[in-house]
Amino acid sequence: EDKQKTTEKQAEGFIKDLEQEISELMKRSSEVKQLLSSKDHILLLQGFNSLKVCPLTRNWTNERVHLPSSEEAVPNAVEQLKKKLERMKKQQQEVKLKWLQHFAVDVTLDSNTAHPNLVLSADGKQVYHSDMRKRLPNNRERFLKCLCVMGKESFSSGRFYFEVQVKGKTEWNLGVARRSISSNGAVLVKAHYDFWTFGVASGSLAPDLEKVGVFVDYE
């Protein structure tokens, strides 16, 4: 009987702690929803900077209470906590994306820098690789040894963000670079601080990847 009372007390303590954590998550969730609905950019920026995922006080998946009445209550509470935490993380990601998009810039590809095997759309918003090498003016800024093209826009301070559609693409690289990266048509591969890129090789693209965002903070 004493053992049963001890176990019941332990189970009640677990459930009470879980309820407190769930309550805290619900409070944070409400704060996130308010940020998502806000059109005040200053409030959004301040809110995002102070927003953090609420950490769990313990690893509930390892807790066990050997009492029939509690064996169901604790796992159910843990599952409820997990679901709320996942929703919280998703909402925070939405807040972060909204914050990043506040710094969005419009990027147009510069045909004067494009490698001869790259084909640009008329509006300079799309590019694809062609096996046919075009005969183009040998501009000083044109890439000749690397399949690259730069954007017309340049930035030297502040923050900026842009998105690139990659849905259905099997191989690509994108990123940011210093304007000086192109010198006599060659990429200065050893100058690691002249560019930053990332991408995927043929066949390695995640099937659900549709869009990639790039954010640069000079501040």
- Res. 204 pLDDT band, cuts 50 70 90: low
Q: Give buried/exposed letters for 18-34 (b at 16+ CB in 10 A, else e).
A: beebbebbeebbebbee
- pLDDT of residue 171 exceeding 50, the answer is yes
Domain ranges of the chain: 1-60, 85-218
Pick the CATH number of 85-218 from 3.40.50.2300, 3.50.50.60, 2.40.50.180, 2.60.120.920: 2.60.120.920
* Model pLDDT, residue 2: 65
Considering only 105-114, 134-143, 179-188, which range has the smallest mean pLDDT? 179-188
Q: Give me the residues paired with residue 187 across strands.
A: 182
- Is there a contact between 136 and 142 (Cβ–Cβ < 8 Å)? yes
Mean of pLDDT values over 128-148: 85
3-state DSSP assignment of residue 95:
helix
For residue 159, what are its two tokens? Answer: 């923050």
* Model pLDDT, residue 100: 85
Mean of pLDDT values over 6-28: 68
Cα separations in angstroms, 193 against 33, 113, 186, 198, 218: 39, 20, 16, 14, 14
Model pLDDT for residues 62-87, shown as the tens digit of each residue: 545 444 444 555 566 667 666 777 77
SS (H, E, C) 34-93: HHHHCCCHHHHHHHHHHCCCCCCCCCHHHCCCCCHHHHCHHHHHHHHHHHHHHHHHHHHH
49-63, 120-134, 147-161: which is most confident: 120-134
Cα separations in angstroms, 72 against 14, 51, 86: 12, 33, 21
Considering only 32-36, 127-131, 137-141, 185-189, which range has the smallest mean pLDDT? 185-189
